[in-house]
Structure 1
Amino acid sequence: MGRWVLRRSDIGGESDRPTIMVTNDDGIDAPGLQALVRVLVSTNRYRVWVCAPDSEKSAVSHSITWRHPLSAKRIDINGATAFAVSGTPADCTSLGISKALFSSEPDLVLSGINMGSNCGYHIVYSGTVAGAREAFFNGLPSVSISYDWVGGTSSINDFTLAAEACLPLISSILVEIKNKTFPQKCFLNVDLPTNVLNNKGYKLTKQGKSIVKMGWKQVSSDAQGAQMLSTMTMESNSVASNPEDNSVSQEQLLFKREVRGGHVEEGETDYCYLKQGYITVTTLGALSHADNDSHTFFKEWLPMVADRTSPSALKKCTVAYRIVNGQFEGHWKSQVENEGDVNNVNNLIRDLSEVRLAQGEDQWKYVVDITSPFTVGTLRKKLDQLLYPNRVLTWFRWNKVSPSKVNCFIWRAIQKKIPSVVTLRNRGVDIEHDNCGACINEIECSDDILISCHFACEVRKQVFKWCGIQQNFASVTDLLSFAANWGRCPKKQKIFISICHGLIWNLWKNRNNRMFNKVFINPTLSSGTVKSLVFFWLKCRGKGGICSQNE
């Protein structure tokens, strides 16, 4: 079974975000697409592109434009790069992934959210499904998404709930793509039930044979046509014709479609499970049904995705409360599901009943230190004392200028948990050589790599000379403790801490280059790299005030 490979863009600071391209058949202004893009952008996890038809193209199936060029107009959609295209959904997908419009291929293509379900034989008619199928034809993973819109019951807000319900599925798919375990021989068709807020979870299904039977009726005016909401539903939007105008031209006859019943297949099919309230996930191939291997993969994979998906659903309260005479008074708002929830709610009500509202300024009091207001600093200090009673960590601060991975590495270095030879041997890993790759004579440990090794000493000496500091250190703890208490200017202190972080991070990268790539860098070049790296951090992540590297 083939595997997908996750593609990444190398543009700017977004290279660590997967790219999702969105298309549809309802048009770029459709509420389903707008809701999906808005929810994707709000997660701040993805780079979002939009390439969608400039007008409604429902039920055009997999038709493509061949005889004339397409126009693509830049559209303003907050947080996304968007183009409205004068083509079909298949055209939009083809153009969007071709690198003619965007700089690279997306990692995942989403088509939807369609206004109306796409199940059974109607998948063949669907432009939404065709948008995903076109990506599949070109070797890209894709998903078509449809919401079972019911006139008079559904509302525009349901599209947001539908998009939120798809987030765990989208996130899990991207993980499989990154791990190269996503099946290559299929794409997915997802349908969300009308009551999406109270959906029953995901259900892997097979394409059924449900279909709405269509007929034709002769009309006298083109205003008597029907409005197609989806491939599963039609709404009459006709204008009453003049009773006296019943004559039909002999040269031109007009006909309109009309629904004349339908066929619904019973059993474990997409349409049946959708009507039962499930979010149906159907594997499709080029000719509708996917191969057995793909279906087997998703049969094992789908249960691992969270059943209850919508963040809006999770916000549904089980208790409503109000303040009466300065106290909280609560009552049941909806039925809880199990005994554990009942106990949690009762405990919450009990705690709230002991709250007294003061007349002065609002403050938090908490059990860590009931004598002082709540602060993040005191809570962090208490956690450090509980987790590491024998170690002094009160001077360690998360440095916002340094990237998160650098802060995490610094914390691990303090705990002596970086994967040095000594650490790995303590974990039972058999290491052939135990000497430091730079000084040869010393056994490699965290303090040796980052502090006492002659290479580390020389790099630190040159960097600190640049800072006007002369100081020797015995361990990473000594270095960072010195940095945390150095100077009186908070701004300069933060810069110096960033320099120490950059120094430690650069020494670790040099160690890995020596060990794995057999690349040896001289101390002068390494110290210059530290300066450039920290300057880049300050320039991009700091709050201004740094004008040049010399400053």
Structure 2
Amino acid sequence: MNQAKYWTPIIEKFQSKLSGWKSRTLSFGGRLTLVKAVLGNLPTAPKRVVESLEKIRRRFLWGGSEGNRKINWVSWEKVTSPKEHGGLGIGSIRSLNIALLIKNKPMAYLHKKKIAGVWGNIANIKNDIEELGIGYNNILKKFVKSGTETQFWRDYWVGNTTLKEKYPGLYELERKKSCSVAERIRENGFTGRWYVCPSSAGLLVQYNLLLRDIANTTPSNGEDQFRCTLAPDGDYCVGLMRSRIENKSITNAGELRISWGKTVPIKVSAFVWRANMGRIPSAIELNRRGLKLGSTYCSSCISGDECCDHLLVKCPYATMVRNMIFQWCNIIRPQTGPVQTVGNPGDCPGPTNPRGPNFLSYRGNGKSKVRLTAICYCLIWCLWRARNERIFKGMFIAPNRVVENIKSLVFLWVKCRGSGNCERWEDWDISPSL
């Protein structure tokens, strides 16, 4: 199963689940959900196969298919990053693959003298994880019971290093370097077998430190086991290991994050995520990527280039809609910044919060913040939809009509997707009670 050709049926099945017609009919949020679901059923695979599967996922997420390439608006590393680090949280296949292989590492270790082939590859997964800067031996450690399956000098069972590395002088004097813990620690204490008994001052210091390290070890009945240090109960968890791998490879920590609450549909949250980075198909962005358009001017005001900030924040059309929303919410209307200030209400909204919306001088409770987030996201979403109506259908939607759409959509989200505790539409239409 190490050869890529044996994995062709898996690749074909994987590709069928992420087929072209699904990429054409599903929204970005729907494709995102499907990519996560397909990944959950993936078995362990060789590196070449992992690369092929990752390519299929990447192509599907951006709406492409075999022979039909689409623009990849955001780097794949960013997409697979956890949500708390500014990504979409779909995870990489490589991190899942390594986490699954590590789960089988203890079995491969216990049978390393009996089984070759695939088990041998699993046993070598330690090298892959240490390339990521994660100490394998800080994650899985031997828990000694009988001591017959644990090598005294070469295994990680005391501290974060082997006794061989910690006491090299004593290891050189050892007669049987592959001895087990059971052979060296008996009921009456440590039993060494040396070529020459330690006698120098340095070796005696090492010997006394060794006795201190193993003082609490007493062999008992039962098999030696591996324990995972990531979980309090010591049981290995693929999810925890995968998160550890992905967090270790993060290069975009500290970037602007958005809220992924259940009140807002995922397709809307995903669009706001892209808008925060300016990675939406505006005229300027399309022009930068080689798609030559007749004009890059804003389709609403015809006075500025259609970039993300202009379209969603600075355009007079967007400003008019936003001011009407401010009035509806009974919020002060100071000058706004870039689109990130609209799409990130933050944990504590206010002009003093650099991660909050600089245009809001508002502080409220948890329920109000959820509603405020939904209104901000819906504002961005409806402005984008109005732009598409103008360009692709030639229909101009009046600002007051956009505001009515925002009111009705957020009311529907709060009532059906939120806590359900929502006022009557007549009251909501007057003010959302933030």
TM-score interval for Structure 1 and Structure 2 normalised by the shorter chain: 0.3 to 0.5
TM-score where L is the length of structure 1: 0.36
Larger radius of gyration: 1
Higher relative CO (Cα under 8 Å, sequence separation at least 6) belongs to 2
Structure showing the higher strand proportion among its residues: 1
TM-score of the superposed pair, with normalisation by structure 2: 0.45
